[in-house]
Amino acid sequence: DAGVTQSPTHLIKTRGQQVTLRCSPKSGHDTVSWYQQALGQGPQFIFQYYEEEERQRGNFPDRFSGHQFPNYSSELNVNALLLGDSALYLCASSLFNDGVSDTQYFGPGTRLTVL
């Protein structure tokens, strides 16, 4: 099991553009969470998907949107990119079991640079 995988590894975009990041969860997991990690900061929760629906959202603008597919993989979309969106974007997967989301396992991240 490769664990949580993310693509691409690195991405460079310019202000105003749109970007899509992808995540495949660990085998057996059904829940995907996305986090933004700015330089020198801890990860900040963006949102979480389960059964193809957004279940919880952090304090991020509507420019950040996502999707979960029937195979549990997920995408994070960011529109109208700002310089401040430059960060490492982490995907984490977990299993929702007995009404609770269990331990989150993280992917290697996608490094987004906005010029």
Partner 1 sequence: AQRVTQPEKLLSVFKGAPVELKCNYSYSGSPELFWYVQYSRQRLQLLLRHISRESIKGFTADLNKGETSFHLKKPFAQEEDSAMYYCAFRLTTDSWGKLQFGAGTQVVVTP
Q: What is the DSSP string of 34-46?
A: EEEE-TTS--EEE
CA 89 to chain centre: 6
Question: Is residue 110 part of the contact set for partner 1 (CB under 8 A)?
Answer: no
If the CB atoms of residues 13 and 106 are measured against partner 1, the closer one turns out to be 106
Q: Please report how close the Cβ of residue 14 comes to partner 1 at its closest, in angstroms.
A: 28
The residue range among 19-27, 62-70, 75-83, 94-102 that interacts with partner 1, by the rule CB under 8 A, is 94-102
Question: Is residue 100 part of the contact set for partner 1 (CB under 8 A)?
Answer: yes
How many angstroms separate the CA atoms of 20 and 104, rounded? Answer: 22
Binding mask 3-22 for partner 1 (x = CB under 8 A): xx------------------
The pairing of strands 110-114 and 10-13 is parallel
